[in-house]
Amino acid sequence: MEILDEGEGELLAWYDPDEHRKWIAQKPRDLRDKRMTIKEAVSKFVHDGDYIAMGGFGHIRVSMAAIYEIIRQKKRNLTMAGKTAVHDSDILIASGCVNKIEVAYAFGHELRGLSPASRRTVETGKCKVVAEWSNAAFQWRFLAAAMGLPFIPTRVLLGTDTFKKSSAKIVKDPFSGKPICLVPACFPDVVFMHVHRCDIYGNAQIDGIIVEDFELARAAKRLIITTEEIIDHEKIREEPWKTVIPYFLVDAVVEIPYGAHPCNMPYLYYFDEEHIGEWLRLSRTEEGVQEYLDKYVYGVETFEEYLELVGGIKKLNYLKRLEKLREKLYAPWIGGNSK
Amino acid sequence: MSEVKYSTIELMACVAARILEDRKSVFVGTGLPMIAAMLAQRTHAPNLLIVFEAGGIGPQIPVLPISVGDSRTFYKAVSASSMHDVMMLAQTGWLDYGFLGAAQIDMYGNINTTVIGPWEKPKVRLPGSGGANDVGSLCNRTIILMRQDARRFVERVNYITTPGYLTGPGAREKAGLPEGTGPYRVITQLGVYEFDEETKRMKLLSVHPGVTIDDIRANSQFEIIIPEEVSTTKPPTKEELKILHEIDPTGIVLRK
């Protein structure tokens, strides 16, 4: 194939598919009880310098319990997949855990405005953007990895600076003769996903949109599932069509109810706009970032303590009513921070 | 002229909604596009198929979602699917309209949402493409909603995040983008623009009530094609305004 153009972004988390097959070869195939605490999971599976990706989307179904634990354990020099990374990347970058990011979407909180903390680190050079992508391009990188392929052809990025700053290549398609963009596979070192339920082996069900978790789970070298609840293995076998992630892809299972707070867990609880607003307000300054982390991350031992601190059962019940549309969202500060 | 009082944000939402045709599909982003699509569905386009990038397909959106992935985007949907599914639909040509915002735009409708200043050393770092490059590459007709001033309507964008007509006629096809796609309308607080058939340059379609051609010119670095006859944008009706505030009762977007 004739190469027409090459992006100048850094190629990361890419392996020759045969290399990846060797990794897969040593993974266990049997059912094992993988339950552990989030503290154990982060300490065992996250290493300094790892390439990390989070399941979910923006503020939806993100494993925040894992994010807080990564910060608490002071992991360093992580590279983040900025695949619609919003609150997760903002707080990981602000806390000094992440110093490199590939960006499809980052540094923003959608309607809530831009992220003061992570923008500041990029504008001052403390965190480096190493490549740019679009959302489709990034998730197709996971699809290529999940398929055991070196790349996948797409019709996005063409003609733009987003391509120039990516690590994609444009070639002449041998079938149509037209230019087509090849996005390289992305095999993250470690991925965290928050799900509605799974069994002790990691067979996981997700309610609502799956976003790109089907592909990402299959692209990950190590996958940690945090879950709202653990259910009987027999329940999985009764409705096997509901399994989005089969157990053998999973390295650890951590049961953490409300583990996505302050994010939205579809059908269970809505965004905690008060808490997100507090972060956006505090993170305008370095001191504010420290104050937030001291209070909500370093200052608590367990996720239950954190939940108490953010408003306890009263707040959680309110978020449940919001999700079920039994309460109107009142959050006048949304948009005030907007550009 | 109507006596109805309205804000420019409300006017922009109405203009965007009216462009969307019934029995067509639209790829919707955060904020104003959501309101516009919901308004269209509740007025002239009840059969409008709304699609969100995170996987929401054909929802009956109850109230304004805050994110393009939150649970409101697949409330009573026909399918709660995946990004891969939605992006495949876009790439195969199922999505007729797509909405975009922009920090900067040039005369060919090329859009920057990545960076102000040099990419290596940004003056302002913006969120990047998100799904914008995908929408601008793959949807049949792209509608851009943005604020207009001389810093945003620029001779050259700092960085092309999302393709417009690139360098002019034929450039999209030459780059390998799907045939017959590209920017369709630009809606700002001053007017509505289309793209000239021949040159693919931005061309004024209508000015909002009270806006002059001089205002249009003064708020752009590049020369906008001004046709001999320019119409005035029809202001929002009482009914449209009522529905807008049902969609966004606390003014999350409309208050801006």
For the segment B29-77, what is each residue's pLDDT rounded down to a tens digit? 888 999 999 999 999 999 999 999 999 999 999 999 999 999 999 999 9
What's the one-letter identity of residue B213?
A: I
Q: Above 90 in pLDDT, residue B116?
A: yes
The two structure tokens encoding residue B149 = 């001033």
Give the pairing of strands A3-6 and A169-172: antiparallel
Q: Give the model's pLDDT for residue B103.
A: 95
Beta-sheet pairing, B202-207 with B191-195: antiparallel
Strands (E), B72-133: 79-80, 97-101, 104-105, 111-112, 115-116, 124-125
User: Given a cut of 90, is residue A113 above it in pLDDT?
Assistant: no
Please tell me the distance in Å from B53's CA to the nearest CA on chain A: 8
Q: Do A328 and B250 touch (CB under 8 A)?
A: yes
Of B30, B62, B162, the CB nearest to A111: B30
Q: What SS3 state is found at B83? A: helix
Domain count, chain A: 1
Q: Cβ(B87)–Cβ(A140) under 8 Å?
A: yes
Average pLDDT in the A293-313 region? 97
Question: Do B69 and B126 touch, CB atoms closer than 8 A?
Answer: no
Structural domains of chain B in order of their starting residue, each with its CATH number: 8-247 (3.40.1080.10)
pLDDT of residue A335: 61
In a domain, A84, yes or no: yes
What pLDDT is stored for residue A224 in this prediction? 98
Mean pLDDT for A182-186 is 98
CB A223 within 8 A of CB A193: yes
Evaluate if residue B1 carries a pLDDT over 80: no
Whether residue A238 is contained in a domain is answered as: yes
What is the rounded average pLDDT of the residues A316-332?
A: 93
| Average pLDDT estimate for A195-210 | 98
A338 pLDDT above the threshold of 50: no
Tell me the backbone φ, ψ of residue A6, rounded to 5 degrees.
-130, 135
User: Which residues, other chains included, contact A304 with Cβ-Cβ below 8 Å and sequence gap of 6+?
Assistant: none
DSSP-derived pairing of the beta strands A169-172 and A78-82: unpaired
**What does the pLDDT read at residue B53?**
96
- Give CA separation, A42 vs A206, A225, A249, B104, in Å: 22, 11, 17, 41
Determine the distance in angstroms separating the CA of A178 from the nearest CA of chain B, rounded to an integer. 6
Across the interface, whether the CB atoms of A157 and B137 are under 8 A apart is answered yes
| B179 is annotated as an active-site residue | no
pLDDT digits (tens, 9 = 90+) for A14-24: 999 999 999 99
- Segments forming the whole domain that contains residue A155: 3-323
What pLDDT does A140 receive?
98
pLDDT of residue A47: 98
User: CA B115 to CA B103: how far, in whole Å?
Assistant: 9
- Is residue A248 one of the residues assigned to a domain? yes
Name the residue among A83, A72, A66 with its Cα closest to residue A13. A83
What pLDDT digit, counting tens, does each position of B220-241 carry?
999 999 999 999 999 999 999 9
The pLDDT > 70 percentage for chain B reads: 99
Query: How far, in Å, are A62, A156, B15, B93, B183 from residue A182 at the CA level?
Result: 29, 9, 38, 19, 24
* Token representation of residue A330: 């009142």
In a domain, A330, yes or no: no
Nearest CB among A84, A125, A158 relative to B163 is that of A158
pLDDT at A334: 82
A336 domain-assigned: no
Residue A264 lies in a domain: yes
Type and span of the H or E element at B60: none
* Averaged pLDDT, A142-159: 98
Band of pLDDT at residue A339, cut at 50, 70 and 90:
very low
Give the model's pLDDT for residue B3.
Answer: 72
Note the ipTM here. Answer: 0.96
> What CATH number corresponds to the domain at position A52?
3.40.1080.10
Of A155, A178, A215, the CB nearest to B84: A215
The amino acid occupying position B187 is I
A209 and B82 within 8 Å at the Cβ level: the answer is: yes
Torsion of CA B58, B59, B60, B64, to 10 degrees: -130
Q: Is residue A331 part of a domain?
A: no
Q: Contact A159/B69, CB-based, under 8 Å?
A: no
Strand partners, A170: A5, A181
Q: A67-104 pLDDT, tens per residue?
A: 999 999 999 999 999 998 899 999 999 999 999 999 99
Number of Cβ within a 10 Å radius of residue B231: 12
Q: Give the whole-angstrom CA distance, residue B136 versus residue B143.
A: 9
A332 interaction partners in chain B (CB closer than 8 Å): 250
User: What average pLDDT does the segment A135-142 reach?
Assistant: 98
How does DSSP classify residue B48? Answer: -
Rounded mean pLDDT, A159-174:
98
Between A113 and A259, residue with greater pLDDT: A259
Tell me, yes or no, whether A337 lies in a domain. Answer: no
**Neighbour-count burial of A59, counting CB atoms closer than 10 A to its CB (0-12 exposed, 13-18 middle, 19+ buried):** buried
Residues of B whose CB is below 8 A from A154: 91
Q: Are A69 and A38 in contact (CB under 8 A)?
A: yes
Identify the three-state secondary structure at position A31.
Answer: coil
In sequence order, the 6+-apart residues with CB closer than 8 A to the CB of B246 are none
How crowded is residue A173: how many other Cβ atoms within 10 Å of its Cβ? 17
The answer to whether the CB atoms of A60 and B80 lie below 8 A apart is no
pLDDT tens, position by position, A40-51: 999 999 999 999
User: Is the pLDDT reported for residue B2 higher than 80?
Assistant: no
What SS3 state is found at A267? coil
- Beta strands A252-255 and A223-230, pairing class: parallel
Indicate the pLDDT class of residue B206, thresholds 50, 70 and 90.
very high
Which pLDDT score is estimated for A336? 45
**Confidence check: pLDDT of B94 > 90:** yes
The reported pLDDT for the residue numbered A337 is 36
Q: For residue A183, what pLDDT band results from cuts at 50, 70 and 90?
A: very high
Contacts of A170 in chain B (CB under 8 A): 176
Q: Are A338 and B256 in contact (CB under 8 A)?
A: yes
pLDDT at B173 exceeding the cut of 50: yes
The number of beta carbons lying within 10 Å of the beta carbon of residue B71 is: 29
Residues B224, B225, B231, B237: is their CA dihedral positive or negative? negative
Read out DSSP for B217-233?
A: HHT-SSPPB--S--EEP
Give the pLDDT mean for A127-136.
Answer: 97
Contact B133 A134 (CB under 8 A): yes
Please tell me which residue in B53, B155, B194, B228 is annotated as part of the active site: B53
Interface contact B159, partner A, CB < 8 A: yes
Q: Rounded distance, CA B213 to CA B94, Å?
A: 37
